[in-house]
Amino acid sequence: MAAAEKCTGASDLGSNRGRFKPGGGLPFDSARRRAHGQPVTLADLRKEYSLAGLAEADLAREPFRQFEKWFQEAEAAKLPEPNAMLLATAGTDGRPSARTVLLKGLDGRGFVFYTNYESRKGRELAANPRATLVFPWFPIERQVIIEGAVTKVAREESEAYYATRPRASQLAAWVSQQSALVPARSVLEEGYKAVERRHEGQAVPTPPHWGGWRVVPETVEFWQGRRSRLHDRLRYRRQKDGWTVERLAP
């Protein structure tokens, strides 16, 4: 399939029309449908959240410590890639875009990830330096939502992190013109081989178009799933003299 070729997917959905029809089928929940041998529709898919609650008294005084606590609990629960987070950005035209990136740094200044500055997200952040992060820790019925301004990480900090990356990842950063159209995968593979030959036997420098972004939080929301969709939503909001905590309706 060519890089710009369109696919409607209509034929793929044809055999699943009952599943994707809103409210289609019998009015059973998913467990009862399966027990009765009935197809499960999207409207049937739901789960009651009951693992824990979240009260104001449970929170640390500031969001970074609270995030570290929840992150350690996500690691202890053996969630795959607990540092994976959804990054949402928007261009100057207001059109949003989103993708998953990895958290690679956290301190009192903010949340850090690394990428190609010439990618779509890089261009959007340069033009409109604001972002939202979401950590979707659904197996433990939690989310963390961070909103704030974005700044570039200092060059020396980006280079220090780049030096810790696997060599293959370092080489790949030179190859991929991230977000650009590619006529075929073979173009990437041949480009990788060329870069590998060029840097054989020597350290791979940090590309000038590659580095970190830091999301400086203005709000950090901790979301805990509860029964009957009455979830706990506690949000830290930055003020001049520190942080205040607000409870949001679910």
Which residues are tagged catalytic? 229
Q: Give dist(CA 37, CA 87) in Å, integer.
A: 39
User: 172: which residues sit within 8 A by CB, 6+ positions away?
Assistant: 192
Answer yes or no: are the C-beta atoms of 161 and 173 closer than 8 Å.
no
Q: Give dist(CA 127, CA 89) in Å, integer.
A: 10
Side-chain half-sphere exposure of 135, counting CA atoms within 13 A: 27
Question: H or E element: which one contains 71?
Answer: helix 63-76
Got the DSSP string for 160-224?
A: HHHTTS-HHHHHHHHH--TTS--S-HHHHHHHHHHHHHHTTTSPPPPPTTEEEEEEEEEEEEEEE
Type of residue found at 74 = A
